[in-house]
Amino acid sequence: MIDFAKLEPRLIGQAQTKQPVQKVTPSTVSNELVFETITIQESGLRRSANAAAKLNDIAAVFVVVFLLVGPVPIGANHPLAWLGFAAAISVFVGLYALSMFYIDPGRLSRTGRYRAIVGLGVGLILFCAAQLLPFSFSSLAELPERLLPDRLTVSAPATALGVIRIFSYALLFVLVLEISANTNRAAWLLKCMFYIIVVHAAWSLISLSLLGDTLLLSPKTAYEGFATGFFVNRNSFATYLSMGLMIGFGKMLFLLLGPTARSAKRPTLIRRLSMDFFIQASLSGVILAALLATGSRLGVFSALLGGLFLFSSMLLKANSLPRWKVAAVLLSTAVVACFAIVMAAPNLASRLVFFEHSIGLRVELYRQTLEMIFHRPWFGYGLDSFAAAFELFHKPSLLTGFIWDRPHSTYLTLWAELGVVAGSIPLVILGLCFVRMLSQIRVRKNTYLPATVASAVVVVCAVHSLGDFSLEMAANAYLFIVLTGVGISERV
């Protein structure tokens, strides 16, 4: 028991002398309280939360540099390019996993929270790898038995390279899920991706107007007079730019409609026109100018739909207008945007004149591709084997002086190469991710911007993939995977 009557108050300002700390035992307990200060020190990097955070920061820098360099070798649309990038991803993810295991052996992987998505992804990779097994190929377009492939793919080398590529996609997706759970890191990744796309958009305009319309500083062989950046195909570059435009447009809307940092209340729009808003608007204008300079009809159309979806999501989240007013605003915005696009991009308007001829070719290509799919609907012709397999079904009603290496629809590509069942797995995965993004938008109060942007990017790519093959370009796939991972990642 403490006798407070015997305790003497200390004088203010009285000199204090450091007393040696004694071990308190029952025999030494007196009428004074003796406290001992114990300093807890961390033992190196083991069990260090700061070390784990630093490692995730390093991984985020790797992702940013990777996305910056990815489009340079003609949109990474070459086996040597994606093999090199696959090696870089594999080595880094391996080092990352070993380092994280050393720092925190008991750390649970965040990828385990997405079991359905991961399970479907693993199943898809295993199916593609199984196409390389030595199973007999069924009859094919009246081809003699001795000419039939001895595997489940028409082109084993192409399928082997394709398996490596999609495995690198899976590793990149897992890495992004691990590092983007932190709110600040996810916001930093989103900002860096936007600036990267601005840089590529600015380069495409400089290359088009000041450097004689070049590709990697050499003369173009196709799409002269249109912005392609480091991509060979203007439509693929348009999808790349559209993803960046969704980030910039989303940031602008968030600054106007989202909650402020200090208050959940939203001030007037005029008072929210900050310098940050004008910077985002200016940089987004660079991307928009490059997008219009591509002359991609479907690229601009899909960007318009993605922007309208993003606008409606932000308005509904802000709860500032009734639903019928939101619909009216979207309709009027769409009409104004269409007129503005036609007036601002005469090259795009001129291409609309030849739309009927282009759609005729596409319809015939789709018809022959569907015939090819119906002939072998369950196993497909092998990953990345469309070009070789389609020649067995190519009829003179479609231009015969041209090698159709893609059916100009990613959905048809998947079903032709993997079959209807396995080829639908990527669509199911994307659907699950989209639902998770919408859930993040609904439950998050202040940190819903990444999920909103990612959901708009899904709309853009889903629409554009109906009539083109943009996501079959590795550079676009890398960017799309990172945005998707950031969009579905649960924040901490």
Structure tokens at 376: 């072998």
Structure tokens at 310: 């993003």
User: Between these two residues, 221 and 428, which has the higher pLDDT value?
Assistant: 428
The reply to whether 15 falls in a domain is no
DSSP three-state, residue 215: strand
Alpha-carbon distance 101 to 29, whole Å? Answer: 47
Looking at residue 403, what is its pLDDT?
A: 78
**Average model confidence (pLDDT) for the chain?**
85
The reply to whether 321 falls in a domain is yes
Give residue 116's domain range.
49-488
| Side chain identity at residue 76, one-letter code | A
Alpha-carbon distance 340 to 327, whole Å? Answer: 20
The reply to whether 75 falls in a domain is yes
Q: What is the per-residue pLDDT across 116-138, written as a single tens digit (0 to 9) for each?
A: 999 999 999 999 999 999 887 66
Alpha-carbon distance 75 to 177, whole Å? Answer: 24
| Side chain identity at residue 453, one-letter code | V
The reply to whether 42 falls in a domain is no
The reply to whether 20 falls in a domain is no
Alpha-carbon distance 184 to 492, whole Å? Answer: 10
CB atoms within 10 A of CB 172: 24
In degrees and rounded to multiples of 5, residue 215 shows phi and psi of -125, 115
User: Residue ranges of the alpha helices (H) in 136-233?
Assistant: 156-179, 183-209
Looking at residue 32, what is its pLDDT?
A: 55
Q: What is the per-residue pLDDT across 326-383, written as a single tens digit (0 to 9) for each?
A: 788 788 888 888 777 777 777 776 666 666 667 888 899 999 999 999 988 998 999 9
* pLDDT range class, residue 37, cuts 50, 70, 90: low
Looking at residue 325, what is its pLDDT?
A: 73
pLDDT at 434 over 90: yes
Looking at residue 374, what is its pLDDT?
A: 93
Lowest mean per-residue pLDDT among 1-10, 136-145, 361-370, 409-418 = 1-10
The reply to whether 38 falls in a domain is no
Range 20-31 average pLDDT: 48
* Residue 131 · residue 152 · CB < 8 Å: yes
Range 196-222 average pLDDT: 91
Q: How far is CA 26 from its chain centroid?
A: 65
pLDDT at 491 over 80: no
pLDDT at 27 over 90: no
The reply to whether 35 falls in a domain is no
Q: Which helix (H) or strand (E) holds 218?
A: strand 218-219
Lowest mean per-residue pLDDT among 14-23, 399-408, 420-429 = 14-23
Number of residues assigned to the chain: 492
Alpha-carbon distance 401 to 326, whole Å? Answer: 50
Total tally of structural domains belonging to the chain = 1
Beta bridge partners of 215: 218
Looking at residue 402, what is its pLDDT?
A: 76
The reply to whether 83 falls in a domain is yes
* pLDDT range class, residue 2, cuts 50, 70, 90: low
Structure tokens at 300: 């601009």
